[in-house]
Structure 1
Amino acid sequence: MSTLRFGYGSNGFANHRLDDALAVIADLGYSGVALTLDHAHLDPFAEDVARQTRRVATRLGELGLGVVVETGARFLLDPWHKHQPTLLSDEPAPRLDFLRRAAAIAEDLGAECVSFWSGVKPSDVDEATAWQRLLDGISDVLDDTSVRLALEPEPGHFVQHVEQALRLRAELDSPRRLGITLDVGHCVAVEPVSAAECVRRVADVLFNVQLDDMRTGVHEHLEFGEGELDLTGTLAALAEVGYRGLAAVELPRHSHAAPDVARRGLKALRAADWLADAERAVRADPVRIRTLFPAVGRKVGRAALRPEVDPGGLVYGTVDDRGRGRLLAALADSLPPQDLAKEVAELYRYGDGAERRGVLRGLHLLPDEIADTGAGLVADALRANDTGLVAAALGPFAAAHLDDHSWRHGVLKCLFVGVPTAAVAGLADRTDAELIRMVADYVAERKAAGRTVPSDAEAILQEVR
């Protein structure tokens, strides 16, 4: 496993007392907390804030939790207006005061940094003025504090892209105590490159990481697996660049089920971290795949990738299918074609059903030079009556490489054994007159025998009517 340190955001425990939230986070196995200063969680404007801070510092020490301070509370400064005022406002003094208070609390807590964002540009403020206000505000806070500050690019805010944050830092003469907070979900939502590439881009100034899933173009914090984030690749990039700070789950709208959500989050992180480590191991020593490939299901899980529409994982595959595919891709990076073909064939030959299925679903990730080996494995799977193997055999590799005769009989095999034809990659593109004739004969035989006809068979025929 890597040395990454996983934390959880206190804003995802908004319905818990802070002491209880910290205890749950620690009990679940997290290494730290991203502490959002707010009314109910260490209010920086409380009369006894110094006493509270000492108590929280003691509690963090007792629980062995690291901490970063977050400043994204919604209505802490203005009960009527979310996140106002900001550093871009006409009157930024309350925000500047808050950031100074946050820095003082962070220093007393021994926090790794204070994370902040630019805010939304007011409609009546031009770009140049907003940029200057941001430069001035950050410079003032840096001058007045001694802790590290981490600017977070935030979708919809004035600074929403990594490149803007880096440019701003450069214009401030690259102060040592000013770095970047990277929310990897934001990378999915608004950046032109992957979260992993964003990690590499900011590696030298990466002070803080927030972990969540998102979809392209949508700023909505999701649990891992519900969006488009490549979690394994992102964690691999963090390990690759030597990141040693806290990487905290950021799910501020999930407080209603905080303990369960946090438990699922850590399980997903540990699985992805194991898989990233396994990929590195296979690239360094390809023989390792012989022990790692069988372990995938136990380490990352065996659930269907899209259980709501494909509970058996026949169409879209399973979590362990995807994990084994990543190991095959790593193997392909490490071996010449002849050796790769031999190793893949042996993984299939000596594997159990799940391992064979993983090989079949990963064949399209391998170079064309071993297509003959792949075709032989597909042919073997299509001779079986295991629905998982049949479904996996007719994926993208078969669509691209299987000869017409074998492919048609593979489709017919799906109808015979009950595999949804939605599992057949390229069905619409490869359907031809001969397949239509074969399916029509099959349907006629079923009807003549008084047996039900699979809806998938009727659907294939319907396409040509």
Structure 2
Amino acid sequence: MQDSSLLLVKILSRRIPPVARSWLERVETLTGTGARLGAPVSEASTWFDRDRFLATFTAAVRVLGKEPLGLHAEERDELADAGIAGAIEGRGLDELGRVTMLVQVSRRLPAPELELLLRVCYEQGDGRERQALLRALPFLVEAERFVPLAVEACRTNELPVFEAITCENPYPAAYFPDLNFNQMVLKAMFIGVALARIVGLDRRRSSELARMAEDFASERRAAGRSVPADIGLLSLDHERERATRIPE
């Protein structure tokens, strides 16, 4: 399996405009790749410049633009094999650049510094910066460290940011405690996000989630409001019916 960080760099390098080559070189320096690739992680704080990293992270949209990637079939296969297709499929070039930066630096920066960096990126970033950060989470080193940040992101009122952590993202199913995962699913249903977009919903379905969904449906019916058509995906009966269905 190809290293995910190297694969992202390869895909980015194929699309980066000539005028942005200096940006990519700066990224290599800031993330500790290139000449510093062999340096031990414990020395990362002696070279890392957080302010320059943040400035370069922000500049990605200006330097790279928002043009959709338009992945080739071979690239899709490589991304699927590496388990990172959802991070960039259908995204803009600026988002690929930012995801690449975060994945690369997570392999060189000590955990406390990385946690602080992500916190600052999220709190100071605009919507597109936050989306890139959230989509990068599953591919960072020791990804479980960032559950509090991901749970906080679920509370946002910005739909694109909420979708970045909830949809086509394996992170919540892999790391969220049951309560936080269930709350995320109910919010998705409440605001009209298709439940089929939640990665790992099948394996995280539970009797408690089914009960919460039924309570939600009852409240909607009592108020004379419609119930989401895909609420059945949260029923344990749905899983049993699918398991016992006779193939045609």
Global fold match (TM > 0.5): yes
Aligned to 2:171: 397
Aligned to 1:289: 53
Aligned to 1:344: 118
Aligned to 2:147: 375
Aligned to 1:154: none
CA separation in 2, counterparts of 1:455 and 1:278? 48
Query: Residue 463 of structure 1 aligns to a residue in which SS?
Result: helix
**Judging changes above 3 Å, is the alpha-carbon distance between structure 1 residues 427 and 346 closer, same or farther for their aligned structure 2 residues?**
same
Q: Which aligned pairs between 1:221-236 and structure 2 lie closer than 5 A?
A: 232-233=9-10
Aligned to 1:301: 65
Deviations 1:197-223 (A, max 9, x none): 9xxxxxxxxxxxxxxxxxxxxxxxxxx
**Judging changes above 3 Å, is the alpha-carbon distance between structure 1 residues 389 and 416 closer, same or farther for their aligned structure 2 residues?**
same
Compute the displacement of 1:448 (Å): 2.8
**Judging changes above 3 Å, is the alpha-carbon distance between structure 1 residues 437 and 304 closer, same or farther for their aligned structure 2 residues?**
farther
Deviations 1:246-303 (A, max 9, x none): xxxxxxxxxxxxxxxxxxx9xx441885674353132246423211111222333335
Compute the displacement of 1:403 (Å): 0.5
CA separation in 2, counterparts of 1:317 and 1:234? 13
Deviations 1:426-448 (A, max 9, x none): 11111111111111222222233
CA separation in 2, counterparts of 1:291 and 1:417? 34
CA separation in 1, counterparts of 2:106 and 2:156? 27
Asked if the contact 2:107–2:140 (Cα under 8 Å) also holds between the matched residues in 1, the reply is no
Q: Which aligned pairs between 1:410-425 and structure 2 lie closer than 5 A?
A: 410-425=184-199
5+ residue gaps, structure 1, are 1-191, 198-229, 237-264, 307-312
One-letter amino acid matched to 1:428? D
CA separation in 1, counterparts of 2:193 and 2:229? 11
Matched, 1:279 2:56: no
Aligned to 1:331: 105
Aligned to 1:139: none
5+ residue gaps, structure 2, are 33-46, 71-85, 242-248
Aligned to 1:318: 91
Matched, 1:463 2:238: yes
Quick check: which has more Rg, 1 or 2? 1
Asked if the contact 2:130–2:161 (Cα under 8 Å) also holds between the matched residues in 1, the reply is yes
Deviates more, 1:323-332 or 1:394-403: 394-403
Compute the displacement of 1:396 (Å): 1.9
**Judging changes above 3 Å, is the alpha-carbon distance between structure 1 residues 443 and 358 closer, same or farther for their aligned structure 2 residues?**
same
Compute the displacement of 1:341 (Å): 1.1
**Judging changes above 3 Å, is the alpha-carbon distance between structure 1 residues 303 and 415 closer, same or farther for their aligned structure 2 residues?**
farther
CA separation in 2, counterparts of 1:342 and 1:427? 30
Compute the displacement of 1:424 (Å): 1.9
**Judging changes above 3 Å, is the alpha-carbon distance between structure 1 residues 231 and 316 closer, same or farther for their aligned structure 2 residues?**
closer
Asked if the contact 1:398–1:407 (Cα under 8 Å) also holds between the matched residues in 2, the reply is yes
Number of residue equivalences: 203
Asked if the contact 1:324–1:359 (Cα under 8 Å) also holds between the matched residues in 2, the reply is yes
Deviations 1:311-339 (A, max 9, x none): xx999562233321111011112211111
Asked if the contact 1:315–1:391 (Cα under 8 Å) also holds between the matched residues in 2, the reply is no
Q: Which aligned pairs between 1:230-245 and structure 2 lie closer than 5 A?
A: 232-233=9-10
CA separation in 1, counterparts of 2:21 and 2:238? 45
Fraction of identical pairs, as percent: 30
Deviations 1:391-444 (A, max 9, x none): 222322222111111111011111112222233221111111111111122222
Aligned to 1:181: none
More strand by share: 1
Asked if the contact 1:378–1:393 (Cα under 8 Å) also holds between the matched residues in 2, the reply is yes
Asked if the contact 2:195–2:233 (Cα under 8 Å) also holds between the matched residues in 1, the reply is no
CA separation in 1, counterparts of 2:60 and 2:229? 35
Asked if the contact 1:411–1:421 (Cα under 8 Å) also holds between the matched residues in 2, the reply is yes
Q: Which aligned pairs between 1:134-145 and structure 2 lie closer than 5 A?
A: none
Asked if the contact 1:381–1:390 (Cα under 8 Å) also holds between the matched residues in 2, the reply is yes
